[in-house]
Chains A and B, each alone.
Chain A
Amino acid sequence: MNKSKRDLSGIIASIVFAVIGGLAIYHSRDFSPLGSVFPRTIAAAMIVLCAVYVAVALLRPIDIERPQPGSAARRVALAIALLAWALLLEPVGFLLTSIVCFAATLVIANYDRWTPRLAVVYAAVGILVLGTLYGVFSYVLQVPFPKGVML
Chain B
Amino acid sequence: MPGIEFLIKALTPLNLLLAVGGVVAGTVIGALPGLTATMAVAVLVPLTFGMEPASALIALGAIYTGAIYGGAYAAVLLNTPGTPSAIATTFDGYPMAKRGDGDLAITLACIASVTGGLVGAAFLLLLAPPLAKFALKFGPVEYFWLAVFGLTLIAALSEGSVLRGLIGGCIGLLLSAMGTAEVGGDIRYTGDFKSLLGGIDVISALIGLYCVPVLMDLVATPDPHLKLTHEVAGFRLKEALNIAWKAKGNLARSSVIGTLVGILPGAGGSISSLVAYGEARRVSRNASNFGKGEPNGILATESANNATVGGGFVPTLVLGIPGTPPDAVILGALLVQGIRTGPSLFSEQSQIVYTFIYGLFLATILMLPVGLVIGRYAFKSIVSIPKAALVPSVAFLTIIGSYAVHNNAHETQQMVVLGLMAWVLGRFGFTASPIVLGLILGTIAESGFVQGYLIGNAKGSALMEFLTRPLSIAIIAFILLTLLYPLLKSRISAPKPPSHE
Residues of B within 8 Å of A58, CB to CB, are none
CB distance from A13 to the nearest CB of B (A): 4
B148 at the interface (CB under 8 A from A): no
B358-398 interface bits toward A, Cβ cutoff 8 Å, 1 = contact, 0 = none: 00000000000000000000000000001111111101110
Residues of A within 8 Å of B409, CB to CB, are 86, 89-90, 146
A137 touches B189 (CB 8 A): no
Q: Tell me the bound Cα distance from A63 to B211 in angstroms.
A: 27
A106 touches B170 (CB 8 A): no
B429 touches A106 (CB 8 A): no
Given A38-B446, A125-B389, A137-B400: A71 in contact with B221 (beta carbons within 8 A): yes
Q: Tell me the bound Cα distance from A17 to B168 in angstroms.
A: 9
Residues of A within 8 Å of B247, CB to CB, are none
Chain A, interface size: which category?
A: 35 or more
B494 at the interface (CB under 8 A from A): no
Query: B218's contact among A89, A102, A109, A112, by CB below 8 Å, is which?
Result: A109
Residues of A within 8 Å of B461, CB to CB, are none
Query: B174's contact among A12, A46, A105, by CB below 8 Å, is which?
Result: A46
CB distance from B411 to the nearest CB of A (A): 9
B170 touches A109 (CB 8 A): no
A71 touches B220 (CB 8 A): yes
B212 touches A35 (CB 8 A): no
**Segment of B102-110, B176-184, B336-344, B475-483 in the binding face:** B176-184
Q: Tell me the bound Cα distance from A125 to B163 in angstroms.
A: 45
Provide 23 A-B residue pairs closer than 8 Å at the C-beta atoms, listed in order of the A residue. Answer: A9-B427, A17-B170, A21-B170, A35-B186, A37-B450, A38-B442, A38-B446, A39-B177, A42-B173, A42-B174, A43-B174, A46-B171, A46-B174, A62-B161, A82-B395, A82-B419, A83-B417, A101-B399, A105-B219, A109-B391, A110-B387, A111-B387, A129-B393
B253 at the interface (CB under 8 A from A): no
Given A50-B167, A89-B403: A10 in contact with B392 (beta carbons within 8 A): no
A130 touches B396 (CB 8 A): yes
Given A64-B429, A86-B413, A106-B392: A46 in contact with B167 (beta carbons within 8 A): yes
Query: B412's contact among A53, A68, A86, A103, by CB below 8 Å, is which?
Result: A86
Chain A, interface SS category: helix
Chain B, interface size: which category?
A: 35 or more
Q: Tell me the bound Cα distance from A38 to B453 in angstroms.
A: 12
Residues of A within 8 Å of B425, CB to CB, are 13
Interfacial residues, chain A to chain B (CB-CB below 8 A): 7, 9-10, 12-14, 17, 20-21, 24, 27-28, 31-32, 34-39, 42-43, 45-46, 49-50, 52-53, 56, 62, 64-65, 67-72, 74-75, 77-79, 81-83, 85-87, 89-90, 94, 98, 101-103, 105-106, 108-112, 122, 125-126, 129-130, 133-134, 137, 140-146
A133 touches B388 (CB 8 A): no
Q: Tell me the bound Cα distance from A101 to B396 in angstroms.
A: 9
Given A86-B409, A86-B412, A122-B389: A13 in contact with B420 (beta carbons within 8 A): no
B415 touches A9 (CB 8 A): no
Which among B160, B393, B413, B423 has the greatest number of chain A C-beta atoms within 10 A? B393
Given A35-B188, A102-B396, A141-B43: A74 in contact with B220 (beta carbons within 8 A): yes
B392 touches A126 (CB 8 A): yes
B428 at the interface (CB under 8 A from A): yes
Q: Tell me the bound Cα distance from A129 to B390 in angstroms.
A: 10
